[in-house]
Amino acid sequence: MRLTRRSVLLGGLSAAALPATLSMVPRPVFAEAAPVLRAAPGLARIGPEDAAKTAIWGYDGAVPGPAIRLKQGERVRRRFVNDLPQASTVHWHGIRIENAMDGVPGLTQPVVAPGADFLYDFVVPDAGSYWYHPHNRSWEQQARGLYGPLIVEEAVPQEVDRDEMLLIDDWRLTEAWQVDESFGALHDWAHGGRLGNWATVNGDGDLSVPARRHERFRLRLVNTSNARILTLALIGLDGWTVAVDGQPLEAPVPLAAESDRIVLGPAQRVDVIVDVTGAEGEEAFVAGTNGDQRFALATFPISGVARTVRSAAPGALPPNPLPPVDPRAVARSVTLTMEGGAMGGLRRATMNGRTYDLRELAQRGKVWAFNGAVDMPEAPLVDARLGETVEITMVNRTAWPHAMHLHGHHFKRVGPDGGLGPWRDTDLVAARETARILFHADNPGDWLLHCHMLEHAEAGMRTWLRVG
């Protein structure tokens, strides 16, 4: 943590100004103060070296925010301090978290006003790759740079030479390299969301990581874009996908089997274990793709040799303690019909119990609906008993893909053959596609289900579930 003048001063004051009688009050269980995680404006060099610095909003004033790395089963404690000019909260994406710590304003906690703070304190049950971001006006706050890595290590980590989380972001910048202030543009909201014109990895527009031939990396790829679906290619790196959305695959899947394309919707993660297969003197890349074009996101200049032959294939990561889902045990089944957006044909929808036509909705910045309602409905989509297996059939009647994210749980998609996909917390549902997902409702509380294209969520695509 960086000590700012203000936190030093406050620390000094609270000790000195305490009247003697107050010391009789029982102290909270944690005598030790939680480290501060401060959302604050900052300046960052995200453009090329000769470009101006960009005014951003970041955790501890930086983009990405500080890496939170701990072991499975340990506790995260952070006093979130909001030094932004807007209210905010922190959501710990993908963590099967205690409901009160989930960071959803109006559902799990009040919003944290400018100048106020909130103590986040929770245990991480699963190892894997996660991240944190705001959940209030996230379509603006995340676009300004508010997000950070959260890595939960396995009890026995995989043997690799290097373990890196790469947070890939899509910025919309002006020619002066400043965040484009076109927030809330209805055209974006009704189409694919706010798409950018500049990509960074870990806040760097030209990330370079030295590598040696046959060196083995675990790369934790995270899409922190507001709305862009990334299609990545690995060049000079070959290996296996070992986890998605934090959860280990049953067995590593060779990347070749996916024809070197890794599709990452907003908020999704993929962990790969790769060996540097490029020759000495060459460069390896994590590349973005756009049709046939490829552009470097992260460059790995190769010099030297780590070992003469490639290491043996890795084993699977140890499974996390997720209760299995059984398609024959479905206790509750609901349909979520997604409508709206450009070319979507939405005519009317309800909002706060009133019906509006499309024009009235658009005037209010609402263009998408779940089951005929925009924004949070009064009643939950599902009211499940603790321990039930729940099935949600998501019917995408729109002309756009949506990155559907369920809070507090991981789920599996039921394939066309009835087989189950990997655990996910965010799943891309293609235009006009129907996706059936199953989850075990074992985490009590009220949980959000929304599109992680942040403009779509704000423009209507939010609902919630009650468990227990």
The binding site for Cu ion (CB under 5 A) comprises 402, 451, 453, 456
When binding is defined by CB under 6 A, the residue of 68, 222, 234, 267 that contacts ligand C2O is 267
Nearest to 273 by CA among 218, 213, 214: 218
Q: What is the C-alpha to C-alpha distance for residues 150 and 159, in angstroms, rounded to an integer?
A: 20
Q: What is the C-alpha to C-alpha distance for residues 203 and 23, in angstroms, rounded to an integer?
A: 44
Interface segment toward ligand C2O; rule CB under 6 A; list 25-33, 163-171, 231-239, 447-455? 447-455
When binding is defined by CB under 6 A, the residue of 144, 194, 409, 452 that contacts ligand C2O is 452
Which of the listed partners (ligand C2O, Cu ion, none) does 405 bind, with a CB threshold of 5 to 8 Å by partner kind? Answer: ligand C2O
| The pair of three-digit structure tokens given for residue 428, joined into one six-digit string | 């891309």
The minimum distance between CB 459 and ligand C2O, in angstroms, equals 15
Q: What is the C-alpha to C-alpha distance for residues 166 and 207, in angstroms, rounded to an integer?
A: 10
The minimum distance between CB 406 and ligand C2O, in angstroms, equals 9
- Residue 93 interacts with ligand C2O (CB under 6 A): yes or no: yes
- Confirm if 167 and 149 have CB atoms less than 8 A apart: yes
The minimum distance between CB 426 and ligand C2O, in angstroms, equals 7
| The pair of three-digit structure tokens given for residue 112, joined into one six-digit string | 């944290």
- Residue 91 interacts with ligand C2O (CB under 6 A): yes or no: yes
Q: Using DSSP, state whether 146 is helix, strand or coil.
A: coil
Which of the listed partners (Cu ion, ligand C2O, none) does 451 bind, with a CB threshold of 5 to 8 Å by partner kind? Answer: Cu ion
Q: What is the C-alpha to C-alpha distance for residues 329 and 449, in angstroms, rounded to an integer?
A: 22
Q: Phi, psi at residue 158, to the nearest 5°?
A: -60, 145
Which of the listed partners (ligand C2O, Cu ion, none) does 93 bind, with a CB threshold of 5 to 8 Å by partner kind? Answer: ligand C2O
Interface segment toward ligand C2O; rule CB under 6 A; list 8-16, 82-90, 227-235, 448-456? 448-456
Which of the listed partners (Cu ion, ligand C2O, none) does 402 bind, with a CB threshold of 5 to 8 Å by partner kind? Answer: Cu ion
- Residue 459 interacts with ligand C2O (CB under 6 A): yes or no: no
Nearest to 285 by CA among 298, 266, 269: 298
Which residue number has the CB closest to ligand C2O?
93
Query: For the chain, how are helix, strand and coil distributed in percent, rounded to 5?
Result: 10, 45, 45
Tokens 């959860």 map to which residue? 247
Q: What is the C-alpha to C-alpha distance for residues 267 and 226, in angstroms, rounded to an integer?
A: 8
- Confirm if 202 and 208 have CB atoms less than 8 A apart: no
- Residue 405 interacts with ligand C2O (CB under 6 A): yes or no: yes
When binding is defined by CB under 6 A, the residue of 96, 228, 450, 456 that contacts ligand C2O is 450
The minimum distance between CB 186 and Cu ion, in angstroms, equals 15
| The pair of three-digit structure tokens given for residue 94, joined into one six-digit string | 């993908």
Q: How far is CA 44 from CA 48, 56, 313, in A?
A: 11, 7, 39
- Residue 448 interacts with ligand C2O (CB under 6 A): yes or no: yes
Which positions from 116 to 145 touch ligand C2O by CB under 6 A, shown as an x/- string? -----------------x-x----------
The minimum distance between CB 142 and ligand C2O, in angstroms, equals 9
DSSP H or E segment with residue 463? strand 462-467
Which of the listed partners (Cu ion, ligand C2O, none) does 213 bind, with a CB threshold of 5 to 8 Å by partner kind? Answer: none
Residue 285 Rama label (left phi>0; alpha psi -120 to 50; beta): beta
Query: How many residues make contact with ligand C2O (CB under 6 A)?
Result: 10
- Is the omega angle on the peptide bond into residue 301 within 30 degrees of 0, that is, cis? no
Strand order in the sheet with 368-370: 368-370, 330-340, 388-396, 434-441, 412-414
The minimum distance between CB 35 and ligand C2O, in angstroms, equals 22
Which of the listed partners (Cu ion, ligand C2O, none) does 216 bind, with a CB threshold of 5 to 8 Å by partner kind? Answer: none
Which of the listed partners (Cu ion, ligand C2O, none) does 456 bind, with a CB threshold of 5 to 8 Å by partner kind? Answer: Cu ion
**Contacts of ligand C2O in 280-299 (CB under 6 A):** none
Name the site residues for ligand C2O (rule: CB under 6 A).
91, 93, 133, 135, 267, 405, 407, 448, 450, 452
